[in-house]
A and B are shown apart, each in its own frame.
Chain A
């Protein structure tokens, strides 16, 4: 372990860092030599055309896929190859591009599931409803309510998650991710399917999360939102980072324009 830490290129203030990540599916290299570092308290946007490898990158970071090469460092540790639930327990949470709630469970229960790793009562204690498990249950409800309040869903606690309108499902996903108590939160197209008003509200929520000390990484196609809230933008195309910088820098980068609009024919 000390040897590993000595090897890790982490320095002060880095929340999440990757070095040389590769991932190929058959002949298609979805993620190619990606190295980046995100600092604590940052709001970082990752943009790029469809199929650029953004979601694959997320899947690698959260341990759903194992990278073919490269390493991921998080919270001062090498987390490459750890199972997803361990990474979550260490403080990295995510939402999904296509909403993946537990549709047959109540809104409240959805959030409570995300507190699994922060609670301990096992099969026996739960089945016997021993005092510790009852205390834990009450605590979870209170805590879940707090997270629902952050996204404004506290009145819908008892309705089925699958019955919520789409915009609220996205918010519930956010609340659920927050309930894991993340240090780094990965949002995968959080504004997709939201109307202009909801998108603006989402931006405010993301600011509030940053103020709570959460580092936010967001993959997003809504350029208005990206340009407004992110401090640094990273552009991916064909699995590679083609540009990185402040929103203004990225916007005027010719390679980015080429990736989105095609190359200039003269």
Chain B
């Protein structure tokens, strides 16, 4: 059994050979099928979503813009938390820093928006570098430290009134723009955000399946073993942290120019918690799971809000239905954690596999520990 498996030279599937010299178009198509499918889905979305918005009383495209923004920051958090296993309960901090950076640079300094957002990324990365020493902590201690990080940034945004305007926030933030073109329509914003998001998703899904991604996943599963195998664990952790900060900053920058008004309360600890929820519900260690999670968590309140309007005549207790929103979210999280601890997307994939083969049971699968 040990050293005598026959047919040494021939490998299964022949996937280990040297790369093909000519570009393998079909193979490339197959490998990126999910990405391409999703891109097409997003590109044609306004065609069916706009007419559907009114009867459903959910502003689908308007909400989808935010889904794109949250998907970017959630993917960043998933790299850090899902892949590299470093819990961050303060990711909202980078989101807030990004939003304020771009908002202040465009309103007070007069930067164009297409320059403000890269600045948001840089400033968020800078804070990432400054805060990276928290990664020396592990497990619960890291969670507490990042939670504190989120709170500290929130307090700074609120109290540094000379810079941030305090609770009054920043008003009249300009629209998104590319050089020479301001984007004002909802549909334009939708495409703007999602083109950025899809690029981010494409890059991240490549990254997790590369040398760097393997190092991240390895140190998640055993730091000692990863280090002993030559992976510079603390350097990799630090870089992932800075990358996730950068994505937080990017998303925050986009967010500021979509909302056009920001105040500190939008970046409170609740934001950080819901970002974590997106990652966990969508699925740890899953790039596409975070998109799904972002969608679910962003649409859920809209759905809850719309429900009474679907029913027309509303009983009294349903009128105050939106008060139960938090409760419904809680129940969903609990059910997901109990029945699909690896997240909804992975759970669904496993469910499909389970139908085909009895060896995979999604309800038995443990979250990565």
- A3 surroundings in chain B (CB, below 8 A): none
Asked if A85 meets B222 with Cβ closer than 8 Å, knowing A126-B206, A201-B3, the reply is: no
A to B CB contacts below 8 Å, 24 in the list: A83-B227, A84-B227, A89-B230, A93-B228, A101-B221, A104-B217, A114-B230, A119-B211, A121-B211, A126-B206, A126-B212, A126-B213, A127-B204, A136-B211, A142-B17, A145-B16, A151-B2, A152-B3, A155-B12, A157-B11, A157-B16, A171-B2, A201-B3, A205-B2
The one of A83, A100, A118 in contact with B225, judged by C-beta atoms closer than 8 angstroms, is A100
B12:A94 contact, CB within 8 angstroms: no
Query: Is residue B115 contacting chain A, with contact meaning CB distance below 8 A?
Result: no
The one of B203, B210, B224, B233 in contact with A100, judged by C-beta atoms closer than 8 angstroms, is B224
Chain A residues within 8 Å of B, Cβ to Cβ:
62, 64, 83-85, 88-89, 93-94, 96, 100-105, 109-110, 112-114, 116-119, 121-123, 126-129, 133-138, 140-142, 145, 149-152, 154-155, 157-158, 167-168, 171, 176-177, 179-180, 197-198, 201-202, 204-205
Q: How far is the CB of B129 from chain A (nearest CB, A)?
A: 14
B230:A116 contact, CB within 8 angstroms: yes
CA separation between A104 and B214, bound complex, in Å?
11
Query: Is residue B19 contacting chain A, with contact meaning CB distance below 8 A?
Result: yes
A142:B16 contact, CB within 8 angstroms: yes
A138:B211 contact, CB within 8 angstroms: no
CA separation between A150 and B222, bound complex, in Å?
24
Query: Is residue B185 contacting chain A, with contact meaning CB distance below 8 A?
Result: no
CA separation between A157 and B13, bound complex, in Å?
11
CA separation between A198 and B5, bound complex, in Å?
14
A102:B207 contact, CB within 8 angstroms: no
- B4 surroundings in chain A (CB, below 8 A): 152
Q: How far is the CB of B79 from chain A (nearest CB, A)?
A: 10
Q: How far is the CB of B192 from chain A (nearest CB, A)?
A: 21
The one of B17, B18, B214, B230 in contact with A105, judged by C-beta atoms closer than 8 angstroms, is B214
Asked if A116 meets B228 with Cβ closer than 8 Å, knowing A142-B18, A154-B5, the reply is: no
Chain B residues within 8 Å of A, Cβ to Cβ:
1-5, 8, 11-12, 15-19, 203-204, 206-207, 210-215, 217-218, 221-222, 224-233, 239, 243, 285, 368
Chain B residue at minimum C-beta to C-beta distance from A95? B228
The one of A103, A117, A157 in contact with B221, judged by C-beta atoms closer than 8 angstroms, is A103
Chain B residue at minimum C-beta to C-beta distance from A181? B230
A85:B8 contact, CB within 8 angstroms: no
- B218 surroundings in chain A (CB, below 8 A): 102, 105, 110, 113
CA separation between A118 and B210, bound complex, in Å?
14
Asked if A84 meets B228 with Cβ closer than 8 Å, knowing A127-B204, A152-B2, the reply is: yes
CA separation between A202 and B2, bound complex, in Å?
8
Extra contacts, 4 of them, besides A93-B229, A109-B214, A198-B2 (Cβ < 8 A), are: A85-B231, A94-B228, A102-B225, A112-B214
- A154 surroundings in chain B (CB, below 8 A): 5, 8, 11
- A151 surroundings in chain B (CB, below 8 A): 2-3
The one of B1, B210, B224, B368 in contact with A64, judged by C-beta atoms closer than 8 angstroms, is B224
A85:B227 contact, CB within 8 angstroms: yes
- B368 surroundings in chain A (CB, below 8 A): 104
- B8 surroundings in chain A (CB, below 8 A): 149, 154
Q: How far is the CB of B29 from chain A (nearest CB, A)?
A: 15
B19:A138 contact, CB within 8 angstroms: yes
CA separation between A101 and B212, bound complex, in Å?
18
- B3 surroundings in chain A (CB, below 8 A): 150-152, 201, 204-205
B230:A117 contact, CB within 8 angstroms: yes
A126:B5 contact, CB within 8 angstroms: no
CA separation between A123 and B1, bound complex, in Å?
39
- B203 surroundings in chain A (CB, below 8 A): 127-128
- B5 surroundings in chain A (CB, below 8 A): 152, 154-155
B211:A140 contact, CB within 8 angstroms: yes
Chain A residue at minimum C-beta to C-beta distance from B212? A126
CA separation between A154 and B12, bound complex, in Å?
9
A127:B230 contact, CB within 8 angstroms: no
The one of A64, A100, A205 in contact with B222, judged by C-beta atoms closer than 8 angstroms, is A100
- B227 surroundings in chain A (CB, below 8 A): 64, 83-85, 88
Q: How far is the CB of A233 from chain B (nearest CB, A)?
A: 24
B230:A85 contact, CB within 8 angstroms: yes
Asked if A128 meets B206 with Cβ closer than 8 Å, knowing A133-B211, A155-B12, A205-B2, the reply is: yes
B214:A113 contact, CB within 8 angstroms: yes
B232:A101 contact, CB within 8 angstroms: no
Q: How far is the CB of A79 from chain B (nearest CB, A)?
A: 14
Asked if A145 meets B229 with Cβ closer than 8 Å, knowing A103-B221, A126-B212, A137-B210, the reply is: no
Q: How far is the CB of A196 from chain B (nearest CB, A)?
A: 12
B221:A116 contact, CB within 8 angstroms: no
- A85 surroundings in chain B (CB, below 8 A): 227-233
Asked if A121 meets B225 with Cβ closer than 8 Å, knowing A88-B230, A157-B12, A201-B2, the reply is: no
- B232 surroundings in chain A (CB, below 8 A): 83, 85
CA separation between A133 and B8, bound complex, in Å?
27
A135:B19 contact, CB within 8 angstroms: yes
- B221 surroundings in chain A (CB, below 8 A): 101-105
- B18 surroundings in chain A (CB, below 8 A): 138, 142
- B231 surroundings in chain A (CB, below 8 A): 85, 113, 116-117
CA separation between A151 and B11, bound complex, in Å?
15
- A88 surroundings in chain B (CB, below 8 A): 227-230
- A119 surroundings in chain B (CB, below 8 A): 211
CA separation between A105 and B204, bound complex, in Å?
18
